Structure 1
């Protein structure tokens, strides 16, 4: 592993993966279970 790869692997550890959303907002799903329920209610 190069020095650059090693620093990238450790330097980005504090970053969160994916989009960060406010799950308390109305209309936002907070879990896979809520997604599954929504899709089921829509007939998928």
Structure 2
């Protein structure tokens, strides 16, 4: 059984998906930049 939020209009998983999708759309460049600062690429530059 899924939990529902917003007066029963949207399942919790869909609500969380929308929040995460929006977050990554806004901050993807910063996330990638910070990740690349502390992690080596697994791909060789071609």
Higher relative contact order (Cα pairs below 8 Å, separated by 6+ residues): 2
Structure of higher CA gyration radius: 1
Which is strand-richer, 1 or 2?
2
Normalised to the residue count of structure 2, the TM-score between the two structures is: 0.30
Normalised to the residue count of structure 1, the TM-score between the two structures is: 0.31
